[in-house]
Amino acid sequence: MTERHIVALSAGLGRPSSTRLLADRLAEATATELADRGQRPEVRVVELRDHAHDIVNAMLTGVPSPELAEVIEAVTGADALIAVTPLFTTTYSGLFKSFVDVLDKDSLVGLPVLLGATGGTARHSLALEYSIRPLFTYLRADVATTSVFAATDDWAAGATADEPSPLPARIRRAGAELATTVAARGPRGPQDPFAGAPSFADLLGG
């Protein structure tokens, strides 16, 4: 069995947080589906609020603190990323974007990513598609087709017997998609900053 490192990132600010709850559910679904595919999932949940000051400091100094550097390494070296943000004034939260902004722009290339968002009402659900997906497309991550939006209403369990909440099914489908992508690949592993260093002959020739 191959060990697979899944990082679930939550940019929720509250405690408890529905964004964290969605991140947990997506991670759980992905882990279950990975186990079904003969993989050994290791899930780590990161709450960005714990690193909010460090993220701002990294923007000001250009250098992450050791704690933030460790989180960045976990995210960029993971086999898959589950990225979940609350929607604030039509788009991802500032904290979520600030974290993405301190990442090296090439560090998510090819990384399987599952997107999730939470909001007050379903009116904003398309923000996942017009705002959050392009961000990860720009970073050349491998974004799963299914993204998951959870409005406050969606947490009202089961709704009625006639009309069950679509959220659990959607979470399962998203987890299965991500697990299929991850299972088909070799482990990604931590990134070696010197792996891409060209030899001097190449530099002179270039």
Residues of the shown chain interacting with other proteins in the complex, contacts defined by CB under 8 A: 56-57, 60-63, 65-66, 69, 193-194, 196-200, 203-204, 206
Q: In this complex, which beta carbon is closest to other proteins, that of residue 184 or of residue 201?
A: 201
Query: CB within 8 A of 182, min separation 6: which ones?
Result: 4, 6, 30, 34, 39, 79, 80, 112
Q: How far is the CB of 77 from other proteins (least distance, A)?
A: 15
- Greatest CA separation for the chain: 70
Q: In this complex, which beta carbon is closest to other proteins, that of residue 184 or of residue 204?
A: 204
Q: In this complex, which beta carbon is closest to other proteins, that of residue 59 or of residue 156?
A: 59
User: Contact 140/108 with Cβ under 8 angstroms?
Assistant: yes
Q: In this complex, which beta carbon is closest to other proteins, that of residue 45 or of residue 69?
A: 69
Q: In this complex, which beta carbon is closest to other proteins, that of residue 58 or of residue 182?
A: 58
Q: How far is the CB of 174 from other proteins (least distance, A)?
A: 36
Other CB atoms closer than 10 Å to residue 130's CB: what's the count?
10
Q: How far is the CB of 145 from other proteins (least distance, A)?
A: 34
Q: How far is the CB of 195 from other proteins (least distance, A)?
A: 9
Structure tokens at 34: 């990975």
Q: Rounded to the nearest 5°, which phi and psi values hold at 126?
A: -75, -10
Q: How far is the CB of 110 from other proteins (least distance, A)?
A: 21
Q: Where are the beta strands (DSSP E) in the chain?
A: 2-10, 39-47, 80-88, 91-92, 112-119, 142-143, 148-151
